[in-house]
């Protein structure tokens, strides 16, 4: 492929010298570029959106907001906070790196720590300090997907995201290019299936008993929320924003949740996701919820996931009062 055609394909700025990339890329080295088609792929854009929402939800207590994976991640500031939040480890690096040298140095420390936590070797990963620093979107997304899969396996990433890339190699005779496909997320069939639990069996084998369980849980929930002047009629819809779920956990477990820790009147899916994620973390920390539940499923009003979470609370507390017993046909 001729250099001019290659640069047009990659949509390089028209003012750029066609030979600039060849001069910038030392002989024998390679560099990968996303094709414009891949950048515009709705599935690829959806994966970016999910990752951005995940980062923003994770870093919400620190008042950090990411708008662009390509523009906001390169200097290490976001990756620094994200790594420390996910691992509860402290990295001894400067908070704000202002020069290119200090930013590269900071990224080096962060990525070395990240690779150790992920238990991967530097030469075997599709990201590097230079790639992240140079705003390589593909490398950045590979890194974030790996972090999400390792530290929050319940996060629902779009499955089977493939992108077309062009690899440019600088040779003695000029630039050579090669097209290939890269896998960003696994195929659905490749993902480890979640173990079935009693609710899977209930919905599959005894759907007629679901309503009995639902009514028992509604009664239980309303008894606990009565002192707050709250009432629940719909388990599927009224728990989607996480507010009532957090208040219920607080009542049952004796938690005091400061209003700064959650959104009492969430106005966006991200705020709802923050509330639900906080609630699920509290349940896991207390050993109440042992089955993996995606917070996105609760926000999206998935009946089985919502019932599973509420039943975990119901089951823990039903023996405290005989009136909270499970009706015949409910799962044990």
Q: Is residue 272 part of a domain?
A: yes
Under-70 pLDDT residues of the chain: 1-24, 188-208, 318-332
Compute, in degrees rounded to 10, the torsion defined by CA atoms 47, 48, 50, 52.
160
**Which of 142, 173, 190 is where one domain is finished?**
190
Q: Is residue 331 part of a domain?
A: no
Residue 77, CA distances (Å) to 96, 151, 302 in order: 7, 19, 35
State pTM to two decimals.
Answer: 0.53
**Which positions ≥6 away from 19 have C-beta within 8 Å?**
3
Instruction: Provide the pLDDT for residue 14.
Output: 35
Q: Is residue 303 part of a domain?
A: yes
Shared domain check, 241 and 130 = no
Instruction: Provide the pLDDT for residue 136.
Output: 92
Shared domain check, 137 and 30 = yes
Neighbours of 146 (CB within 10 A): 17
Q: Is residue 332 part of a domain?
A: no
Cα(157)–Cα(155) distance, integer angstroms? 6
Q: Is residue 53 part of a domain?
A: yes
Q: How far is CA 139 from the centre of its chain?
A: 17
Shared domain check, 69 and 165 = yes
Shared domain check, 297 and 154 = no
Q: Which domain holds residue 221?
A: 198-324
Instruction: Provide the pLDDT for residue 320.
Output: 52
Residue 104, CA distances (Å) to 19, 108, 120, 130, 152 in order: 27, 6, 20, 8, 27
List, in sequence order, the alpha helices (H) in the chain: 3-9, 20-24, 36-39, 42-58, 69-72, 77-87, 100-118, 129-133, 137-151, 198-205, 210-225, 235-238, 243-253, 269-285, 295-299, 303-317
Instruction: Provide the pLDDT for residue 48.
Output: 93
Shared domain check, 42 and 176 = yes
Shared domain check, 169 and 206 = no
Tokens read off for 101 = 């040298």
Shared domain check, 13 and 98 = yes
Find out whether 107 and 132 touch, Cβ atoms under 8 Å: yes
Q: How many domains is the chain partitioned into structurally?
A: 2
Q: Is residue 103 part of a domain?
A: yes
Q: Is residue 329 part of a domain?
A: no
Cα(220)–Cα(161) distance, integer angstroms? 42
Q: Is residue 182 part of a domain?
A: yes
CATH of the domain at 64: 1.10.418.10
Per-residue DSSP letter, 318: T
Computed over its alpha carbons, how large is the radius of gyration of the chain? 24
Where do we find the tokens 């972090």? 147
């Amino acid at each position: 492929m001729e250099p001019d055609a290659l640069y047009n394909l990659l949509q390089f700025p028209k003012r750029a010298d066609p030979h600039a990339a060849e001069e910038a890329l030392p002989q024998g080295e390679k560099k990968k570029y996303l094709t414009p088609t891949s950048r515009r792929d709705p599935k690829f854009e959806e994966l970016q959106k999910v990752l951005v929402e995940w980062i923003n939800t994770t870093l919400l207590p620190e008042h950090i907001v990411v708008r662009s994976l390509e523009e906001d991640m390169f200097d290490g500031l976001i990756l620094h906070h994200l790594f420390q939040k996910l691992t509860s480890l402290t990295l001894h690096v400067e908070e704000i790196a202002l020069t290119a040298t200090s930013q590269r140095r900071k990224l080096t420390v962060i990525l070395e720590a990240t690779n150790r936590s992920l238990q991967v070797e530097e030469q075997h990963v599709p990201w590097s300090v230079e790639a992240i620093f140079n705003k390589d979107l593909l490398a950045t997304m590979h890194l974030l997907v790996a972090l999400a899969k390792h530290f929050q396996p319940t996060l629902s990433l779009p499955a089977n995201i493939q992108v077309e890339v062009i690899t440019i190699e600088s040779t003695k005779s000029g630039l050579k290019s090669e097209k290939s496909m890269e896998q960003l997320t696994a195929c659905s069939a490749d993902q480890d299936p979640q173990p079935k639990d009693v609710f899977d069996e209930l919905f599959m084998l005894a759907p007629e008993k679901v309503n009995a369980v639902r009514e028992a849980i509604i009664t239980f929930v309303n008894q606990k929320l009565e002192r707050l002047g709250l009432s629940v009629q719909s388990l599927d819809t009224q728990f989607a924003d996480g507010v009532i779920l957090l208040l219920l956990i607080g009542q049952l477990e004796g938690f005091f949740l400061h209003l700064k820790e959650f959104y009492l009147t969430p106005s966006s899916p991200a705020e709802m996701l923050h509330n639900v994620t906080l609630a699920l973390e509290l349940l896991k920390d207390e050993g109440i919820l042992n089955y993996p539940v995606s917070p996105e499923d609760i926000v999206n009003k998935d009946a089985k996931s919502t019932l599973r979470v509420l039943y975990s609370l119901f089951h823990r507390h039903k023996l405290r009062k005989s009136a909270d017993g499970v009706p015949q046909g409910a799962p044990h």
